[in-house]
Structure 1
Amino acid sequence: MVLNGTVLEKPTEYDVKTPDYDGLWKNLIETLFKEFMQFFAPDIYEDIDFSKPPDFLKQELYKEIIDEKKGKLIADEIVKVFLKNGEEKWILIHVEVQGSTDENFGERMFRYF
């Protein structure tokens, strides 16, 4: 039997949400942390003792570090690592991927910095 016809979708009937891009980036950074650091921060990478697993800290617990004043101004990851000399360090990682033009992009990046 051959069926011919057109199926019209009604997207309003679906409960489609915008993908959680921030969550996807966080997952990627956590999963590939060693490679992420090697590529984006090779000078720091050399000093990290990767025999001790990194500790991805919960941002809600560190309000004194992250000051949410206006909009979403939080780091993607706060990672506690140990250096080869035994010293503990925290690394704040923020990735900003733009899919469209944002007039305030430069100002936001300055505030993140």
Structure 2
Amino acid sequence: MEFFFTQAYAEIDWTQPYEFLDTEFQHLETYAEIGRRLVYKVAKVWLLDGEKAWVLVHVEVQGQYDSQFAELWKLSIG
């Protein structure tokens, strides 16, 4: 989190407990393409301002070169 999402990491109150809610996305695995390796992590965290927030992390393992990867990544993060 700290390495890839520095700003989000800085806004989370890491002294408070966090809760992983991975079961919320388990049903998505049935729709994933065969051969793709996708991981979804969902966590409930507390922000420094005391608000509750939900964090969704999507990881996709890529095993081969894709010339459009950087462009697709930019589109996915908005």
TM over 0.5: yes
For residues 39 and 51 of structure 2, what CA distance do their matches in structure 1 show? 22
Counting matched residue pairs gives 69
1:72-95 C-alpha deviation (Å, 9 max, x unpaired): 5x7520011000111000000011
Q: Which one has more relative contact order, counting CA pairs under 8 Å at least 6 apart?
A: 2
Task: Give 1:50's aligned amino acid.
Answer: W
Unaligned 5+ runs, structure 2: none
Q: Which runs of 4+ in 1 moved over 4 A?
A: none
Q: Which amino acid aligns with 1:85?
A: D
CA distance, structure 1, for counterparts of residue 21 and residue 31 of structure 2: 22
Q: Give the equivalent residue in structure 1 for 2:47.
A: 83
Q: Give 1 or 2: higher strand fraction.
A: 2
TM-superposed CA distance for 1:101, in Å, is 5.6
So what's the TM-score if we normalise by structure 1? 0.46
State the TM-score, normalizing by the size of structure 2.
Answer: 0.63
Identity %: 36
Alignment RMSD (CA, Å):
3.4
- SS at 1:43's partner residue? helix
In terms of Rg, which structure is larger?
1
